[in-house]
């Protein structure tokens, strides 16, 4: 009986530890994302994807996130979209934001979550690093901003 109690306490401690680590997984469940607010998820996408380059670049990234939230093919929350595997920068929900770009990201996240959009992004739901070109004929580029090129797929 005592060993069972110790095992239960250890499991509980492990679960608490797992939930306190941002972006970590415990038995395949992502606890870190559940702790972040929509603003924090938006800030992180803008901060890491725009390379903290400019308000315009952050606004463009935020617009893509919101375009995806509004499309039934994607999760219907900012954190769901940003947390999708292989869609945004590695560790976007768990890495530390270490410079003043986080202040600008917070300001821009507030604007996007209040309805601001980058008009040049239009309906684009995709972007990649500026300067790269792909030979696909199903891409229509609409904007270059913040070190990224934004495009729509046909």
- We report the CATH number of the domain holding residue 122 as 1.10.10.2520
Please check whether residues 67 and 137 belong to one and the same domain. Answer: yes
DSSP string, 37-61: -HHHHHHHHHHHHTTT--HHHHHHH
pLDDT of residue 8: 46
User: What is the rounded average pLDDT of the residues 33-39?
Assistant: 82
pLDDT tier, 1 (very low <50, low <70, confident <90, very high otherwise) = low
Please check whether residues 97 and 140 belong to one and the same domain. Answer: yes
Helix/strand/coil for 120: helix
pLDDT of 137 higher than 80:
yes
pTM: 0.77
Please check whether residues 29 and 47 belong to one and the same domain. Answer: no
Say how many domains are in the chain.
Answer: 2
Other C-beta atoms within 10 Å of 85: how many? 6
Please check whether residues 72 and 129 belong to one and the same domain. Answer: yes
Q: Return the higher-pLDDT residue of 26 and 127.
A: 127
Radius of gyration of the chain (CA): 18
Distance CA 21, CA 25 (A): 9
User: What is the rounded average pLDDT of the residues 115-126?
Assistant: 98
Please check whether residues 27 and 42 belong to one and the same domain. Answer: no
Q: How many residues would you count in the chain? A: 154
H helices present in the chain, as ranges: 2-20, 32-35, 38-49, 55-69, 78-82, 101-113
Please check whether residues 11 and 58 belong to one and the same domain. Answer: no
Q: Return the higher-pLDDT residue of 152 and 10.
A: 152
Name the residue range of residue 12's domain: 1-35
User: What is the rounded average pLDDT of the residues 64-90?
Assistant: 96
Q: How far is CA 127 from the centre of its chain?
A: 13
pLDDT of residue 100: 84
Q: Return the higher-pLDDT residue of 58 and 133.
A: 58
Please check whether residues 64 and 119 belong to one and the same domain. Answer: yes
Please check whether residues 124 and 145 belong to one and the same domain. Answer: yes
pLDDT tier, 98 (very low <50, low <70, confident <90, very high otherwise) = confident
Distance CA 93, CA 45 (A): 8
62 neighbors 42 (Cβ within 8 angstroms): yes
Please check whether residues 97 and 64 belong to one and the same domain. Answer: yes
User: What is the rounded average pLDDT of the residues 96-102?
Assistant: 89
Please check whether residues 12 and 78 belong to one and the same domain. Answer: no
pLDDT of residue 51: 79
pLDDT of 13 higher than 70:
no
């Amino acid at each position: 009986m005592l060993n069972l109690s110790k095992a239960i306490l250890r499991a509980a401690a492990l679960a608490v530890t797992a939930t306190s680590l941002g972006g970590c997984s415990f038995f395949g469940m992502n606890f870190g994302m559940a702790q972040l607010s929509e603003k924090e998820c938006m800030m992180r996408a803008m901060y890491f994807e725009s390379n903290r380059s400019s308000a315009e670049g952050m606004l463009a990234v935020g617009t893509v996130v919101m375009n995806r939230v509004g499309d039934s093919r994607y999760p219907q929350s900012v954190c769901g979209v940003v947390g999708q595997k292989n869609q945004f920068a590695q560790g976007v929900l768990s890495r530390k934001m270490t410079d003043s770009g986080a202040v600008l990201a917070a300001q821009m996240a507030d604007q996007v979550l209040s309805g601001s959009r980058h008009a040049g992004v239009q309906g684009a739901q995709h972007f990649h690093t500026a300067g790269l070109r792909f030979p696909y004929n199903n891409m229509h580029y609409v904007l270059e901003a913040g070190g990224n090129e934004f495009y729509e797929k046909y």
